[in-house]
Amino acid sequence: MTQLQARGLVKSYGPTPALHGITLDVAEGEIVAVTGPSGCGKSTLLHCLAGILRPDAGEVVWRDQRIDTWPEAARSRLRRTEFGVLFQFGQLVAELTAAENVALPLLLAGTGRRAARTAALTWLDRFGVAELADVRPGEMSGGQQQRCATARALVTEPRVLFADEPTGALDTLTGEQVLTQLVRLAREQRTTVVLITHEPRIAAYADREIVLRDGVIDHTGLGLDASLAGGAR
């Protein structure tokens, strides 16, 4: 079942075009990797799909509802409740502990502090960083920070996770560990994942790979290692 659709997305930054009429469908529970060279429009596409940016033309449809016309507050609420977002770096609040960072989306949704902390600890444990619950980001390694950020992105059990170069700032081994955990948990939760990367190795974790070039879809294909990464799915 198609969960998220882009229809003829066009987006420019002033005179610089970023997207030239992109159309794609993402099915429920599917892991899609969007790849391509720097400046091809990958991040812009993700930001439009997640409702962070409004396209200049075209439509973004989420479960049969056109969300690109929604006001910002409604799109923010959608991101808070139905979507999770994950970036390369700089997303954890430096002053909050790991547990507080992970609990933040739940607190925003109105969950009590105790319940939010319990859920946060559970998710930190799933990513193997439960012992860092009361540690601040500045005292963690890059990999540990990204595990916490991933736990935060998934703590609300979103239907779609948007990940923009989530392992871009990590070394190869740590990046693969983080991504393996992310993919495993996403599959367990039946969470749809839109993953931006410029590394074919990372794209191999996806069910489908979409390659962008100069703001248009150059070609699509199956993730090279999708079955292996997905296990028995």
Partner 1 sequence: MRPGTFVRLALAGNRTDAARVALTALSAALAALAVLAALSVLAIQTPPGGPRQESEHYTNALLREPGLRGGTAFAILLLTIPVLALAGQCARLGAPARDRRLAAFRLAGATPGQVTRVAVLETGLASLLGTAAGLATYLVGRALLHRPDVNGRLALPTDVLPTVPELALVVLALPLIAAVVSALMLRGVTATPLGVTRRARRAGRPRPWPALLIALGVLGAALFEPIRRASADGLDTLLFAWVLLGTFTAVLGVVLAAGWISHRAGRLLHRYARSPAQLLAARRLTEDPWAGSRTFAALLAALAIGAGATAFRAWFALREQVWREDNRRAGISAFDDLDDQRSAFYLRTMDLVDLAVGVAVAIAAAGLLVMLIEGITARRRTYAALVAGGVPRATIGVSILWQVLTPVVPAVLLALGAGYTLGRTVNADIVSGGDWEPVCRATAELCADPATRDRHIEWVLAGGVVRSPGVPLEQLALLGGGAVAATLLTVGLGVLLLRPNTAVEELRAT
Binding footprint of partner 1 on the chain (CB under 8 A): 43, 47, 50, 52-53, 73, 76-81, 83-85, 87, 89-97, 100, 104-105, 107-108, 113, 136, 152-153, 164
| Terminal-residue alpha carbon distance, the chain | 17
Q: By C-alpha distance, which of 143, 106, 110, 140 is closest to 123? A: 106
Containing 61, the helix (H) or strand (E) segment is: strand 57-62
Residue 29 C-alpha from the chain's centroid: 13
Specify the residue, 35 or 101, whose C-beta has the smaller distance to partner 1: 101
32 secondary structure, DSSP code: E
CB of 94 to partner 1, least distance (A): 7
- With the C-alpha atoms ordered 79, 65, 208, 20, is the resulting torsion angle positive or negative? negative
Specify the residue, 114 or 219, whose C-beta has the smaller distance to partner 1: 114
Specify the residue, 150 or 204, whose C-beta has the smaller distance to partner 1: 150
CB of 223 to partner 1, least distance (A): 25
Q: Are 56 and 22 in contact (CB under 8 A)?
A: no
Q: Are 203 and 31 in contact (CB under 8 A)?
A: no
Specify the residue, 61 or 104, whose C-beta has the smaller distance to partner 1: 104
Specify the residue, 81 or 174, whose C-beta has the smaller distance to partner 1: 81
CB of 211 to partner 1, least distance (A): 20
CB of 221 to partner 1, least distance (A): 27
CB of 226 to partner 1, least distance (A): 27
